Amino acid sequence: MFLQQLVNGITVGAIYAMVALGYTMVYGVLQIVNWAHADVLMFGTFIGLLLTNVFHMPLFAMAVLAAAFTAALGMSVEIVAYRPIKSGNRRMAVLVSALGMSTFLQNLAQLVFGSSSQPFPTIEKVTYTIGKVTFTNIQLIILGITAIMLFILYMIVYKSKIGIAMRACSVSIPNAKLMGINTNFIISLTFGIGAFMAGIAGICIATYYNAVYPTMGYLLGMKAFAAAILGGIGSIPGSVLGGFVIGIFESLGAGYLSSGYRDAYAFIVMILVLAIRPSGFMGAKHIDKV
Amino acid sequence: MEHILNVKNLHVSYGVVPALRNISFHVDEGEIVALIGPNGAGKTTALHTISGLLKPKEGFILYEGRDISGIEAHKLVKESISQVPEGRGIFPILTVAENINLGAYLRKDKDGIRRDKEWVYNIFPRLKERMNQVGGTLSGGEQQMLAIARALMARPRLLLLDEPSMGLAPVIVEDIFKIIKKINKENGTTILLVEQNAQMALTASHRAYVIEVGEIVNEGCSKELKKDDRIQKAYLGI
Ligand SMILES: Nc1ncnc2c1ncn2[C@@H]1O[C@H](COP(=O)(O)OP(=O)(O)OP(=O)(O)O)[C@@H](O)[C@H]1O
Ligand SMILES: [Mg+2]
């Protein structure tokens, strides 16, 4: 039972981690919460459905193309909803703009794709059993894809010139500009990378639960956001860890305590951890020297 | 001869609050020019407007004869204007080597970059020893050295320095100023230096401007200014 719940928890945790990264990276460079992130994910997942149903694309090609669309949508959200806000009470204006964008995307999805839940294309399920633990090929694929995405992200953020520029922007946009960095381009790219991973995560979860619907982003987004907060928002390794911790606790909670509260465990874990470590697992430690 | 930098009738404000009112000054090729003045005089505002972080409300900034006012900061780096920001502005989460690399962000000449790295590590050997350490763990003086080294990696023709002496012990300030003069002498790099430490600034520079509440109130050859009564009283504590 324990190992079984652990396996299930790691699977959903991987998805939470991929979504959490989008919140954390945007927060890292702009110190804003992109509340439209999960709706961008939902929209991208519907595009995946469209690609399959209308264009009969194979699953993997569809996933990459849908994620690319999600990335483009995420970048557009930044240009339309956040970039124009430069002065005044910026945080409040950004919050309102983000919530507006989120509502807009949900309504647009209902209008275009309908409001009911639709079955999502999946692959033939193969089940493996080792001892008392059962897992499926879909779970293995989700974990494999997550590992690949995390590796690529690691190479971009920590090993490439663009990644150094991103981290410089997260410290100070004006000082990054003084290095010759086109900060608007880096911000765009950050939204794009975050949304691409969310697109992949959306396809994964829709395949896993075999469903896509206009409000699918809501709980997923809240849990992923909790994961980002738990890990210390702005910290990339923190968000990954936060995603897995939330996935695992949710699964164990549903298995051992009560599955009726499945959706509450993420937030319970977050509150407990923040009570002990207010900055999360890996929250920003400020090193200031004058 | 044409000035490398010619600032004419510059007005800059934050919202409706004016910070610079009609200031004009120039810098010639190969010079060190100091801009001295008390807290809040508008020195940083002037540098930010030249480097493109702020847009002027009125006036011109002619750089090598071309008006650059309003051009975005990241594009001016390509034009070989490099700014060392107030409070150093290094990236504390990046290593010393990564900070240095960022200075050459727009450059493509690999050999040139390698040579320049050797050159700056030669000027600041302490940075070489700390190459793989993150910037935030350096001492204040080392951070200032890193900020200067990083700016040099862009091969500036015009180097803007914002209070390099800020918060540093007098011996370190001496060191930093020696290096500033050396860079100017050996490379011919033109330097516009902003300082509250008038003593150091007037000693290191060829010419200087005194700025108070957004206006230039005095200017001249640094040697002469050092002997000026009012400056001695107000800035040199004599
Ligand atoms: N971001 C800002 N928003 C509003 N006002 C500002 C801003 N930055 C500076 N000011 C104001 O503009 C004026 C000039 O400031 P500036 O930073 O240029 O002075 P400074 O000469 O560099 O001072 P210091 O020696 O203390 O660095 C000051 O009155 C300051 O309060
Ligand atoms: Mg200043």
B113 touches chain A (CB under 8 A): no
CATH number at residue B234: 3.40.50.300
- With CA atoms as reference, report the closest residue to A40 among A82, A11, A8, A9: A82
Distances (CA, A) of B170 to B36, B147, B174, B175: 18, 18, 6, 9
pLDDT value, residue B1: 63
Q: Decide if B15 is inside a domain.
A: yes
Residue B104 CA to ligand 1 center (angstroms) comes to 29
Domain interval for residue B28: 1-80+159-165+190-238
Q: Decide if B19 is inside a domain.
A: yes
Distances (CA, A) of A76 to A67, A69, A107, B161: 14, 11, 17, 38
pLDDT value, residue B238: 67
The whole-number average pLDDT for the span A36-54 is 96
Digit-coded pLDDT (tens) for A131-187: 989 999 999 999 999 999 999 999 999 999 999 999 999 999 999 999 999 999 999
pLDDT value, residue B61: 97
Digit-coded pLDDT (tens) for A172-224: 999 999 999 999 999 999 999 999 999 999 999 999 999 999 999 999 999 99
Angle (deg, nearest 10), helices A59-77 and A37-55: 140
B131 touches chain A (CB under 8 A): no
The answer for residues whose C-beta is within 8 angstroms of residue A64's C-beta and 6 or more apart is none
- With CA atoms as reference, report the closest residue to A164 among A68, A72, A284, A29: A29
Lookup: tokens for A27:
């927060």
Q: What's the whole-number average pLDDT of chain A?
A: 93
Q: Decide if B127 is inside a domain.
A: no
pTM (two decimals): 0.93
Residues A102 and A36 sit within 8 Å (Cβ to Cβ)? yes
Q: Give how far B134 is from chain A: nearest CA, Å.
A: 10
- With CA atoms as reference, report the closest residue to A24 among A110, A153, A148: A153
From B10, B11, B13, B14, the mutation candidate for ligand 1 (largest count of ligand atoms within 8 A of CB) is: B14
Ligand 1: lining residues by beta carbon, under 6 Å: B 14, 17, 19, 37, 39-45, 86, 196
Residue B13 CA to ligand 1 center (angstroms) comes to 10
B126 burial (CB, 10 Å; 0-12 / 13-18 / 19+) is middle
Place of tokens 């633990």: A133
User: Pairing between strand B17-27 and A127-130?
Assistant: unpaired
Lookup: tokens for A26:
């945007």
Q: Which of B51, B92, B103 sits opposite A171 (nearest CB)?
A: B92
Do B89 and A183 lie within an 8 Å CB cutoff? no
Q: Decide if B98 is inside a domain.
A: no
What is the domain partition of chain A in residue ranges? 11-215
- SS3 category, A162: helix
Digit-coded pLDDT (tens) for B120-152: 999 999 999 999 999 999 999 999 999 999 999
Using CA atoms, how far apart are residues A182 and A179, in angstroms rounded to an integer?
9
Q: Tens digit of pLDDT per residue, chain B (238 long)? A: 689 999 999 999 998 999 999 999 999 999 999 999 999 999 999 999 999 999 999 999 999 999 999 899 999 999 999 999 999 999 999 999 999 999 999 999 999 999 999 999 999 999 999 999 999 999 999 999 999 999 999 999 999 999 999 999 999 999 999 999 999 999 999 999 999 999 999 999 999 999 999 999 999 999 999 988 888 888 877 6
Residues A105 and A43 sit within 8 Å (Cβ to Cβ)? yes
Lookup: tokens for B203:
């000693």
Q: How many domains does chain B have?
A: 1
